Amino acid sequence: MLVSKALHIIFVVSWFAGLFYLPRIFVNLAMVPADSAAERERLLLMARKLYRFMTPLGVLAVALGLWLWLGYGFTGGWLHAKTALVVFLIAYHGYCGALLKRFAAGANTRSHTWYRVFNEAPVLVLFVVIFLVVLKPF
């Protein structure tokens, strides 16, 4: 079970690296001047590769989390709150994919400022999840 826990932590950390960085690429994409096609294409390439890389990491993080939940049989309100936040992160991940498609289609309607705020959501969720898991407050 400890190996599963270690792998879960590794995959969560790796997934979060992508969740932190992909919206940062969106900030840069939103700031690209209209006449800078090469810069736009380079950032899109980076974003696509990162999204393809982080998706299996997220799947493995969630799968191992479920495995641990079933194996240890954790219960409590803290786990329900954590599970809701993980569902939010899965939706956030999927929304990042939708935003990437919009950028690729040249249909972005958001400002770089909006992406800067959007970029903070996974940071806040990470703080709450860690406190829930460590402190188990309810």
**In this structure, what token pair is assigned to residue 56?**
């299996």
List pLDDT tens digits, range 52-64. Answer: 999 999 999 999 9
Query: Tens of pLDDT along 67-100?
Result: 999 988 878 899 999 999 999 999 999 999 999 9
In eight-state DSSP terms, residue 106 is T
User: What is the b/e burial string over 63-91, where b = at least 16 CB atoms within 10 angstroms of the residue's CB?
Assistant: ebbeebeeeeeeeeebeeebeebbeebee
Q: Taking the model in full, what pTM does it have?
A: 0.95
Q: Residue ranges per domain, the chain?
A: 2-135
